[in-house]
Structure 1
């Protein structure tokens, strides 16, 4: 999708002043790679490394500020800096949405609506001041600031909408990835038939976020949660490597700074007709989601089913599994127990997420080492997660489940 309608800068102007790449297939490939990293890398830093959601968001906010200053200081498009900025924005936008959901309990429907409203305001002010939303007009500092602000909000919005879709449908990420992928194809078809290029571009741009996020979850989630079981660390490494390889290719070949085709002439009547097409696509999507929500389905991937408790002998976990791994699980269990005893339910929930992530990441290795021991501990962890995440958590039930897990890990 080449978003060039109503924009016809000269070649010299584009080469010297444009701060963004041409909208070629490479643009969309690397954009989807970046969004996948935003989901998996944020989870890896926050949960697997145990940094915590708010500290991770604070770290990436500082990193984002530094990278943005670097990007804004340049006088033309530089692939490495540009795509580094997109990657950091992707991670940061994901974290902001997760904070609203996990720390403040804001429903995904509400955060989706809020971010959609914020994005509409950003676009409205941007257009009122600059008279265009075309990214091929990013040749001044004010326009570039509007551009990066819009991208940050699209990442946050896409994260909320993608998670909300999983929430209301119960789809696994492998199935859920088909919805944004299909919608992007329909938008491309609409653009080919004469829809406004700027509108088509931004609609597709927003949808690449849930597409990439679902792809990241599909690769990173364990098989028990309808994923491929690669883990968030491996998924992050794979996609970061792919991004780096693509950026190097673009730097060498300059495939994303080629002179675009002559912009097609605007056809207001056709564009108005295609607005009806987009409205029909939106109505059909809403209908599909309502239908899926009404179907019997389980909880979204990542939530626990009924715990299956099997016997485990004293010292079995330490005898069968690496001591360092068992010590990590025991420390997280004790931290949860301390927080429950102190009445810190929010802290216990955050620790539960860390335990869940660490256990899921270790599943391929530990289950292969001793399936019986893994099953025994897995059932007790499920019981803990279920009690901690209950809509009305009972401290006595939480304490009992945690003590049973702690005993199994001794």
Structure 2
């Protein structure tokens, strides 16, 4: 026990910090491969199971979000009091195992239940990682470190869509689930072996930052801060469009542009990879540079990005040419992910080090319950409602309607900028 404490208290070398960050990124990449592979497999699953757009929206969102959001906070409470690396190892093993089980589903209900299991596992995969990064990187580098970790979102989403398209075309959609699930199971023991639990609050200046506050007290302190609610609901609004578009655009490409499954996978995978990586890195860079001088910039940078993203998405969706649409989609894909580095870094500073995982999980609870739970279903339901008028083009106008949530998110962040400095914990 003494040896472990001594190891944790020793400041990590720069090289080891980035080894840890790389492994956290790989785990997060599998998180999004398993989460977003549903988007590209939507059409073959829908064809075989005979589900409507609304039902597929529930399968892509609510089935996952139910336990993902509900279990996130109690797991965070545990992570603030125990070994975060073990929690993440178990979580990765669980969600990968349930992803594999998705490949054995033969009915809509079975697939729905398996996706719920994926959500159970992923509930322990993100908030502990945010907390670990905050204990491996000092405040001046956190937004960029969190942005590098968040590369797992565009890279994992792109890999899931491209890989899913390749495997589903070559074999079938069930094998795609099995392949990515087994990949995650192989990564889990490697992560556990190489990632050490760090000292909590190593880089925090306030005395007592490592003291363990009670869960109720930590949550009460957090929820009294206006910026927490504004950041959480603003991110939720952006995630309705973000998760909704990630899930439905591959289907839109097949319906409106006549793409094959494989073409849609490579086309949209490239957009997510290029645009997503640029956007995530830009957000982290701007957050660290501008936020160091003015805390409000952690909210103002995402607000500006969303205001620019909405019209860019509209132009891409209304373009008659898929070639032109490709370049038009790159900009809003990048702008739609700028928020990750600055906002996640800001949330880490709304609570002391001893309650960071709880703060992250509370933020993720709101963001994901609304963003994932509502986003994919809402766009699917709007598509069903517009089918009588627009037929195969209904998804085009459904996704177009979703861009309004970016503007609502921007408005909430403009308000959040006014209270962020007052709520900040150094």
TM range, smaller chain: 0.3 to 0.5
TM-score (normalizing by structure 1): 0.38
Q: Which has the higher contact order (CA 8 A, sep 6+)?
A: 2
Please say which structure displays the higher CA radius of gyration. 1
Structure with more helix by fraction: 2
